[in-house]
Structure 1
Amino acid sequence: MLLEGQAMREGRGLAAKSPARLRRRGAAIGPDWRNGLFVLPFLLVYLALLVYPLFRGMWISLLQFDMFDQTASFAGFTNFRRLLADRIFLGTVGNTVLFVAMTVPAFVVIGLALALALNREGRAGAVLRAIFFGTSVLSVTIVTIIWKMMYLPDRGLISGILGVFGAAPVPFLTSQDLALPAIAVCTVWWIIGLPMMLFLAALQQIPGELYEAAALDNASRWRSFVSITLPSIRRTLLVVVIYEIVAQFQLFGQALLLTKGGPNNASRPIVLFIYEQGFRDWNLGYAAAASEILFLFMAVAAIAQYLASRRRAEG
């Protein structure tokens, strides 16, 4: 009896203490807002450098803002209406869209082809991967100097090769039809290493047993590529396409240093137009409106590509 009474008293004591213990345990297990202090520096930088400039740019696009005398007045959608009637701006939109259409498929096709060719072990494969990736770490100034020397119509490398076969020199950078394709070729040569490495990383994650099973079924290389390789790297393919669409819409340095937007605005992209309006003509509101249209183009293109790829994957 004494033991039973002591056990009952201890049980009541534990029951009395259990709510407090549970509250302490809940406080330890539940969310602790002090953990937010670890991400607070990142959030502050993100708000200061990305979110605030985004909405500030939207507001400036609605102003008649002259940086020269620092005067600003609300203009509504006047800047946007002027842009839609500006032939030079509409030409830059066409140039930028055409440039994206020329470069993004090249990045996907050439990058994947190089990754397939260099997806092998050994010193030779490592050296070739380093060579192809090495161009992507060069600055835009170095790249444009190299290609400007190659495009020279009298002493350039390409003209020298054409001269061996008796062909006349080609004025790549002074021709309205060839200036933008010449910039596209330069850009693909410069950045092809990044999509190549992304594809290469995705290819190395594919289990080798899948290809062994396909070989046992006498599947051809093309069949293995279509049935195994492409479905396995689908997500990487989508990442490369969306990244390159967003990146190539921001064409600036190559056009500025190779052609300065010429000849006759044939190679002038949207970003160069924004730069000239904002920092040459001091028309900040007009430049901000053009940048908002560029942001809309990039967002629509990336979302459309994502939705199309998602439908194909689900189908």
Structure 2
Amino acid sequence: MVRLRDGLSALAFLAPFLVFYLLFLVYPFGLGIWISFHDWELVGSFREWIGLWNYEDMFADPQFWRAVRNTLTFAAMTVPVMVGLALLLALGLNRQTRIHGALRAIFFTSNVLSVTVVTLIWIMVLSPDRGLIAQLFRSLGLEPIAFLASTTWAMPAIVATTVWWGIGFPMILFLAGLQQIPGELYEAARLDNASPWRRFTRITLPALRRTFVLVAILQVIGQLQIFGQVLIMTGGGPSQSTRSLVQTIYETGFADWQLGYASAMSLFLFVVMFVASMAQLYIARQED
């Protein structure tokens, strides 16, 4: 009787979460899979079962593969920079002083801005007419570059914008990990005349292994869903060189009304993120 009462109490506490989880996560995910097997218009009542045709069209669509390539390129450029720079900032700001506390707040401030504000700031910074970088180029006697209109520089410009915007959160995670390392370990290492590099490689990095995995997984999942920066800064151009997979899904579903085809591409993106996350977890466990 006591166990039954405890079980009912636990279920009562879990019920609100389970309702929201099933209603807003499990049900939409299952519905998305079901829609992907249909020719399903966004507006109207037209619904036709077509099986795997959406997936066949997707794998044969060169525009889809270009968006996948752009998305993977963006993630490959952004994630290592984000992880490495966040670790460096955390190491430099891991001090209990007022100035370091103020600097931590400054670096984290950009993370709370909306994507619209961030992209508008960087559009002005990168402007070839009156932008800050253009003025710097002119002061050096160089011709300004139209970064967002160049197939070579548009993607790096979006990467720089994203790193500036999102560096605060992984930095805070690394700071939290650094502050969990016992100071006695570093004191003992200093008594043994261990160099700073040896303390970093023998104490800091092993202690941050799980934080590295967490930050890397969060960054991979986040950067594979790149959308707002591309849509506002370049619209996917120039010459489709920055079009992301999420932008393609959005335009397919809400501009072309091909909800079934968009759902198929969404499921593909989910599989890519899931596989990447599981691979990182597997590698981390093997290292442990």
Same fold (TM over 0.5): yes
Q: 1:203 offset after TM fit, Å? A: 0.3
- Please tell me the root mean square deviation across aligned C-alpha atoms, in Å: 1.0
Residue of structure 2 in register with 1:197 after alignment: 172
1:110-144 deviations in whole A, cap 9, x for unaligned?
A: 00000000000111000000000000000000000
Q: Secondary structure at the match of 2:99?
A: helix
The within-5 A match list for 1:79-228 is: 79-228=54-203
User: In structure 2, what is the Cα distance between the partners aligned to 1:123 and 1:290?
Assistant: 48
Q: 1:312 offset after TM fit, Å? A: 2.0
Does residue 1:28 correspond to 2:2, yes or no? yes
Amino-acid identity (%)? 50
Q: Secondary structure at the match of 2:109?
A: helix
TM-score, normalising length: structure 2: 0.98
Residue of structure 2 in register with 1:274 after alignment: 249
The residue type equivalent to 1:117 in the other structure is G
Residue of structure 2 in register with 1:69 after alignment: 44
Q: 1:235 offset after TM fit, Å? A: 0.6
Which of residues 256, 259, 275 is equivalent to 2:231? 256
* Structure with greater Cα Rg: 1
User: In structure 2, what is the Cα distance between the partners aligned to 1:167 and 1:124?
Assistant: 37
TM-score, normalising length: structure 1: 0.89
Moved over 4 A (4+): none
Question: Gaps spanning 5+ residues in structure 2: where?
Answer: none
User: In structure 1, what is the Cα distance between the partners aligned to 2:18 and 2:88?
Assistant: 40
Q: 1:29 offset after TM fit, Å? A: 5.3
Question: Gaps spanning 5+ residues in structure 1: where?
Answer: 1-26
Residue of structure 1 in register with 2:207 after alignment: 232
User: In structure 2, what is the Cα distance between the partners aligned to 1:52 and 1:301?
Assistant: 24
User: In structure 2, what is the Cα distance between the partners aligned to 1:29 and 1:287?
Assistant: 47
Aligned length: 287
The residue type equivalent to 2:228 in the other structure is G
User: In structure 1, what is the Cα distance between the partners aligned to 2:155 and 2:27?
Assistant: 34
User: In structure 2, what is the Cα distance between the partners aligned to 1:187 and 1:151?
Assistant: 14
1:205-238 deviations in whole A, cap 9, x for unaligned?
A: 1011100111111111111000000111111110
User: In structure 2, what is the Cα distance between the partners aligned to 1:152 and 1:161?
Assistant: 12
Which of residues 252, 265, 278 is equivalent to 1:290? 265
